[in-house]
Structure 1
Amino acid sequence: MLPFLLKRFGLALVSLLGVLVLVFAMVRLVPGDVVTNLIGLEGNVSPERREELRRLFGLDLPLHVQFGQWFGALLQGDLGTSLRTDRPVLTDLALRFPVTLELTLLALLIALAIALPLGVTAAVNRGKTLDYLASLFALVGIAAPSFWLAILFILLFSLKLGWFPPTGYVLFSEDPLGNLRSLFLPALALGMSLAAATTRIVRSSLLEVLSLDYARTARAKGLPERAVVYRHALRNALIPVVTVVGLQVGNLLGGTVIIEQIFGLPGIGRFALEGINLRDYPVVQGAVLLVAGAFVLVNVLVDVLYALIDPRVRFE
């Protein structure tokens, strides 16, 4: 397994390098820069003063020189300094990453808690009312945007019923219950799409496994249907599910940008959005690097989980 992991991590580093180059170029294609935001579009500032500010931020250098300086600092563990606050980007990311990580994990748990029993129920009751209801949920969940669900949940569960706070974040160390209450609605809105997609995958995968010879043999031996489903079929049906969930983690991380903005959560997604609006290049690059690194790491872990779920899988 070690050679396989080394190969996967090597490919991951190449992928991250490609992401860095792409993001570095794309954020600079956006009209304006941090100097324009500082002085304002109608600011009465001389061209000489503008150039002085650009030199101060290093924006007068050629793009390849700027990238070389930033990448060289990155190799030393320095993600740069915010052009707006003059704070180290790594410090701000370290403060905000736990919020985004907790939100993503909670959304993943909610999605799996909904999808696994619902998908199994739909497969076992194929062609019946429960199957149609599960399919309807999957269709609506995939079609509904997370930001629309977030607004709907705020109106229903916060403003009308008063069960959860509409915005804000509570540290887990200060109030564990308050922390979960502040993150439940964002995580539910973020995880609904994954829950819907996973429900469909669980249903189709389990139906395929239940039609195989060993499942029919287990039934012929007199095993109850519950034992056939949960003891024999479900584990083999989970490999496609693991694949989908692993790929969808990237969508969860990307979806935190809008969700954190709607619910006022101090996470990386909101931090990156502020960086984009303010043309704070080091902030955007550092946030994207962290999210991309987490996504690549999750995909490597998914490959490892294959062998744990299915002993027939071997790494080469």
Structure 2
Amino acid sequence: MSPSWFARRLLLALFAAFGVVVLVFTLIRLVPGDVVTQLIGIEGNVSAEGQAELRRLFGLDRPLPVQFAAWFGDLVRGDLGTSLRTDRPVLQDLLLRFPVTLQLTLMAMLFALVVAVPLGVVAARARGKFADFASSTFVLIGLAAPEFWLAILFILLFSVQWGVFPPSGFVPITESLGSNLWHMFMPALALSLSFAAAITRIVRSSLLEVLSLDYVRTARAKGLAERRVLYRHAMRNALIPVVTVIGLQFGNLLGGAVIVEQIFGLPGIGRFALEGINLRDYPVVQGAVLWIAVSFVLVNVVVDVLYALIDRRVVYS
């Protein structure tokens, strides 16, 4: 992998992030109402002069291109702005909340891979048999069931009926690792099911395709054990499409975390962004979406690097 490839890849990532910023900046302002309207609803009647003064203080009276230029200029200097509601730096709140969303996403990804990879391998080896049918049923259920429905179902079962897990709340790792994992188990499980279903399907189809190739038949003809043929020869090539799906699904996990964090009361970036949308807190929404977009882009860069590590035939120049 040459330095020029990294430079081009990072440049494309910056362009993608910039496009997301422009799109979010424009769309959030097309929604009726603004933070002043929300504040008026809370505080009561405010005169037209008072509303105009509030919009001037928040900088909302300026033309949109001027607002964007001012915000983008601060962004280049590493300043994501200040919340219009709390007057706190957006970057400070993002740094506090991102570990929660990252932990939720990584736990969901771990749960999904632990289930999906073995299940996909079993389904591929037992093609047309009961195990394959059971795997297909799991995939259909996982892809059809939305995260918010699973989250509510888990709360009803594991919290209300059985009292096994807490229905909401969050305990930082620094306070208690056990309590942290206990509170994060259900949200991660609810978020992981659709991801596990997608990975199971890809592992099965990719492995079936690889197992039908000539070099696998040659390895079997040499008398190699089926386990060695499967895990030493077939799995390495079958993992390349799986890595692609993992990179793409990472963005879906971040998006699904918005609803899951809200249902379980987790103080993550998704809930932070949703609160900003509800209150028309433009800097919060822009900062949170930009953070998620950059994270997604960086994950895809890592996926490209993993291609070369898994398959040495992949060369970037």
Q: How does the TM-score come out when normalised to structure 1?
A: 0.99
1:41 shift after superposition: 8.1
Give CA deviations for 1:216-235 in whole Å, capped at 9, x if unaligned. Answer: 11111111111111111011
SS at match of 1:45: coil
Deviates more, 1:111-120 or 1:223-232: 223-232
Task: Name the count of aligned residue pairs.
Answer: 316
Residues 1:261 and 2:269 aligned together: no
How far apart, in 1, do the equivalents of 2:162 and 2:52 lie? 55
Give CA deviations for 1:263-285 in whole Å, capped at 9, x if unaligned. Answer: 00000000000000000000000
Give CA deviations for 1:97-140 in whole Å, capped at 9, x if unaligned. Answer: 00000000111111111110000000011111001000100011
1:44 shift after superposition: 2.1
Residues 1:163 and 2:164 aligned together: yes
Partner of 1:225: 226
5 Å matches for 1:62-81?
62-81=63-82
Shift >4 Å, 4+ stretches: none
How far apart, in 1, do the equivalents of 2:34 and 2:25 lie? 13
Residues 1:281 and 2:293 aligned together: no
1:46 shift after superposition: 1.3
What runs of 5+ residues in structure 1 fail to find an aligned partner?
none
SS at match of 1:126: coil
Partner of 1:10: 11
Partner of 1:243: 244
Q: How does the TM-score come out when normalised to structure 2?
A: 0.98
1:42 shift after superposition: 9.2
5 Å matches for 1:18-57?
18-40=19-41, 43-57=44-58
How far apart, in 1, do the equivalents of 2:229 and 2:20 lie? 45
Residues 1:298 and 2:299 aligned together: yes
How far apart, in 2, do the equivalents of 1:261 and 1:44 lie? 30
What runs of 5+ residues in structure 2 fail to find an aligned partner?
none
SS at match of 1:40: helix
1:157 shift after superposition: 1.4
| Percentage identity across paired residues of the two chains | 72
1:43 shift after superposition: 3.4
1:5 shift after superposition: 1.1
How far apart, in 1, do the equivalents of 2:222 and 2:162 lie? 52
How far apart, in 2, do the equivalents of 1:172 and 1:7 lie? 38
Partner of 1:152: 153
